[in-house]
């Protein structure tokens, strides 16, 4: 096939330009966290966490820390380079005294883990220790703790562990709403009912069941009509009378007639009726 005739050359040139453009785009894309393990296999759990942290990749965090041998500034970014002139630098230590910079952890060696209210981010592959920790590479451990009020706040250094022979680390803390469990968000919208309201709801439900159930029972089983359909109608009527009498006794300032007061509550409604009419109520 004739590759270089004008008819074939144009499509070829176009194809090459396309491939070049794609390669340039891929290379220009910002570096991000590399979760590849030893087997070159990305874990779906870690990828899910990486997606969860996506809103923070734009931000840059900074904290100061003084210890025995110096005063340092720590700069931290999630899955982005802190300084583009330091390859894969995810967490950088800058000495305030001599401005020396050290990469504590790199984004191309990221590990993620989470629990109910925290996400742990580990950057390994930092600059090697000079004398401590068998001169292994430095490592940053950032604990992201749930704080609902902020997307990101409170980046601080917690501790530096370098007395061990291996697995030394710089430990940091960051608070973020991204580390919070979703169920809690739901609870915030619908706060828990207080014990008082639960009792109130239970009580009113019981009353409703009593009235409706009693009504149906009286109507369908007993065959009551009119007001009699209300459950225990006579009892409630009596209770009403009793309350009215009690009120009458307590609240009325002057007695209607002196003897009635001695005969007790409840006799009032009998009014002026003769005492003989009560006789049939007495036990024989």
Ligand X SMILES: *[C@@H]1O[C@H](CO)[C@@H](O)[C@H](O)[C@H]1NC(C)=O
The residues that touch ligand X, with contacts defined as CB under 6 A, are 48-49, 52, 55, 58, 83, 85-88, 101, 106, 108-109, 114-116, 125, 147, 149-150, 153-154, 175, 181
**What's the min distance (Å) between Cβ of 57 and ligand X?**
6
Which stretches within 127-232 are classed as H helix?
182-189, 195-216
Nearer to ligand X, 89 or 218 (CB): 89
**How many angstroms separate the CA atoms of 218 and 60, rounded?**
74
Nearer to ligand X, 106 or 160 (CB): 106
73 is written with which tokens?
């500034």
8 Å CB contact between 24 and 16? no
Question: Which residues lie below 8 Å from residue 255, measured CB to CB, with a gap of 6+?
Answer: 261
8 Å CB contact between 186 and 212? no
Give me the phi and psi of 140, to 5 degrees please: -110, 140
**What's the min distance (Å) between Cβ of 26 and ligand X?**
17
**How many angstroms separate the CA atoms of 262 and 256, rounded?**
12
Nearer to ligand X, 32 or 229 (CB): 32
**What's the min distance (Å) between Cβ of 150 and ligand X?**
5
Nearer to ligand X, 176 or 218 (CB): 176
Instruction: Please say whether the dihedral angle defined by the alpha carbons of residues 245, 251, 257 and 262, taken in this order, is positive or negative.
Output: positive
**How many angstroms separate the CA atoms of 208 and 202, rounded?**
10
**What's the min distance (Å) between Cβ of 200 and ligand X?**
32
**How many angstroms separate the CA atoms of 104 and 86, rounded?**
11
**What's the min distance (Å) between Cβ of 208 and ligand X?**
40
Nearer to ligand X, 181 or 213 (CB): 181
Nearer to ligand X, 95 or 114 (CB): 114
Instruction: Please say whether the dihedral angle defined by the alpha carbons of residues 275, 279, 282 and 284, taken in this order, is positive or negative.
Output: positive
**What's the min distance (Å) between Cβ of 165 and ligand X?**
22
């Amino acid at each position: 096939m004739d590759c270089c005739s004008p008819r074939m050359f144009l499509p070829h040139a176009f194809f090459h330009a396309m491939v070049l453009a794609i390669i340039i785009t891929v290379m220009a894309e910002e570096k991000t966290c590399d979760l590849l393990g030893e087997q070159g296999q990305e874990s779906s759990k870690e990828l899910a966490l990486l997606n969860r942290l996506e809103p923070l990749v734009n931000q840059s965090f900074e904290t100061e820390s003084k210890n025995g041998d110096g005063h340092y500034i720590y700069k931290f970014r999630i899955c982005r380079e802190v300084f583009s002139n330091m390859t894969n630098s995810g967490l950088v230590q800058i000495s305030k005294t001599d401005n020396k910079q050290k990469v504590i952890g790199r984004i191309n060696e990221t590990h993620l883990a989470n629990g109910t209210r925290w996400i742990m981010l580990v950057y390994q592959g930092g600059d090697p220790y000079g004398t401590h920790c068998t001169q292994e590479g430095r490592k940053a451990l950032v604990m992201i703790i749930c704080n609902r009020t902020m997307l990101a706040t409170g980046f601080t250094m917690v501790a530096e562990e370098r007395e061990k022979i291996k697995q030394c680390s710089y430990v940091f803390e960051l608070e973020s709403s991204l580390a919070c469990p979703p169920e809690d968000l739901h609870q915030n919208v619908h706060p828990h009912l207080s014990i008082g309201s639960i009792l109130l709801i239970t009580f009113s439900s019981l009353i409703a069941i009593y009235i409706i159930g009693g009504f149906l029972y009286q109507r369908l089983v007993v065959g009551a009509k009119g007001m009699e359909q209300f459950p225990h109608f006579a009892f409630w009527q009596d209770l009403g009378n009793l309350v009215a009498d009690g009120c009458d006794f307590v609240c009325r300032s002057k007695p209607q007639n002196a003897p009635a007061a001695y005969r007790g509550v409840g006799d009032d409604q009998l009014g002026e009726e003769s005492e003989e009419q009560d006789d049939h109520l007495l036990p024989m």
